[in-house]
């Protein structure tokens, strides 16, 4: 039997975190209670706020607490380049590793008909409308080098050409079958810099 119901509930709740099993969750709970209650309280507040207030940017679909995210509103970013990624983590990886100064579009997935993910679910109507605005001249396709990512890239290149926009892809250097999010910054920066027209 346990000495604290609330503690058990906290340990159970911590298991919603990826890669956190029962033992790690217990260690986390004890650590906070013993050594960092302020940190625990701050995390509780930020977590509640974030789950409540973070939605998706109406323009790029990345995480945002406002209707249009800060990056989309940033007038100093170049409007001619639009980089399409699968997930917010991919956007963060490119932003942190490269000197890219253009805009992003986040699919929040990849074409996967079996999972019910088609052009509509990936916001490609929004992307088409964006390209139809006429400002974008290059669509940098940075989907993952997986089978579904490649299929998505192929589809995106067609969409770009329909709007007279030049599609490009990241250069060789991205290992096949790898996930963009986990690639070291140097490799990612190099691949981004030597991207090719497709």
Residues near a copy of itself, by CB under 8 A: 1-7, 9-10, 12-14, 16-19, 24, 26-34, 36-37, 39-54, 57, 60, 62-65, 69-72, 74, 87-89, 91-92, 95, 108, 181
Q: Is 103 among the residues that bind Zn ion (CB under 5 A)?
A: no
Q: How far apart are CA 188 and CA 173, in angstroms?
A: 7
Q: In this chain, which stretch among 60-68, 134-142, 155-163, 182-190 interacts with Zn ion, using CB under 5 A? A: 60-68
Q: How far apart are CA 39 and CA 32, in angstroms?
A: 7
Tell me how far apart the terminal alpha carbons of the chain are, to the nearest angstrom.
63
**Interactions with Zn ion, residue window 68-87 (CB under 5 A):** 69, 72
How near is the Cβ of 198 to a copy of itself at its closest, in Å?
26
How near is the Cβ of 90 to a copy of itself at its closest, in Å?
10
Residues 6+ apart with CB under 8 A from 61: 105, 106, 107, 108, 123, 126
Instruction: Catalog residues that contact Zn ion under the rule CB under 5 A.
Output: 57, 59-60, 69, 72
């Amino acid at each position: 039997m346990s000495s604290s119901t609330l503690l058990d509930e906290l340990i159970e709740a911590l298991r919603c975190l990826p890669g956190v099993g029962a033992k790690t969750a217990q260690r986390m709970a004890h650590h906070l209670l013993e050594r960092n209650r302020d940190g625990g309280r701050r995390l509780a507040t930020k977590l509640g706020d974030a789950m409540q207030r973070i939605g998706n940017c109406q323009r790029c679909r990345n995480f945002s607490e406002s209707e249009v995210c800060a990056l989309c509103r940033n007038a100093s970013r170049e409007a001619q380049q639009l980089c399409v990624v699968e997930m917010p983590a991919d956007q963060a990886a490119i932003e942190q590793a490269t000197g890219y100064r253009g805009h992003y579009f986040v699919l929040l997935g990849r074409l996967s008909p079996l999972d019910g993910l088609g052009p509509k679910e990936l916001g490609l109507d929004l992307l088409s409308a964006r390209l139809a605005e006429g400002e974008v001249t290059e669509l940098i396709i940075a989907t993952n080098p997986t089978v579904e990512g490649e299929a998505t890239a192929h589809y995106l290149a067609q969409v770009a050409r329909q709007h007279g926009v030049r599609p490009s892809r990241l250069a060789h250097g991205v290992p096949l079958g790898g996930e963009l999010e986990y690639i070291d910054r140097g490799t990612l920066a190099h691949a981004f810099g030597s991207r090719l027209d497709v």
